């Protein structure tokens, strides 16, 4: 994966666009730190590429929730405890 500075993107956009056809994904950097990923698409692949990115983000969020659950040990909760928690939250929202 190629790294391209935000300055290069601003000053030489044509070269960066050409790179997306060769490299597919580019990491955009600012002060040497990654800030964005630029992915080359076309009209035929746009929706599929966007779907893949959104699915990856959803899977990452689910993984983070699972890790948090293990850290808090809530993954060991019984169905009865889960239902009690849901009821407590619902009652709190009705106030």
pLDDT tens digits for range 55-76: 999 999 999 999 999 999 888 8
pTM above 0.85, yes or no: no
Concatenated DSSP letters for 23-75? HSEEEEEETTEEEEEEE---TTTHHHHHHHHHHHHHHHHHHHHHHHHHHHTGG
Predicted pLDDT of residue 43: 92
| pLDDT recorded at residue 76 | 86
pLDDT for 95 equals 47
Q: pLDDT by residue (tens digit) across 8-46?
A: 999 999 999 999 889 889 999 999 999 999 998 889 999
CATH number of the structural domain 2-39: 3.40.1620.10
The pLDDT value recorded for residue 94 is: 60
16 contact partners, CB below 8 Å, separation of at least 6:
4, 8, 9, 26, 38
| Domain positions in the chain | 2-39, 46-94
């Amino acid at each position: 994966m190629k790294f391209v500075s935000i300055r290069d993107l601003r000053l030489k956009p044509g070269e960066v666009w050409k790179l997306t056809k060769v490299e597919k994904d580019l990491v955009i950097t600012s002060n040497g730190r990654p800030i964005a990923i630029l992915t080359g698409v076309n009209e035929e692949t746009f929706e599929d590429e966007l779907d893949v990115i959104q699915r990856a983000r959803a899977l990452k969020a689910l993984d983070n929730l699972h890790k948090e659950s293990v850290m808090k040990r809530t993954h060991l909760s019984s169905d009865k405890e889960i239902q009690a928690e849901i009821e407590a939250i619902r009652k709190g929202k009705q106030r």
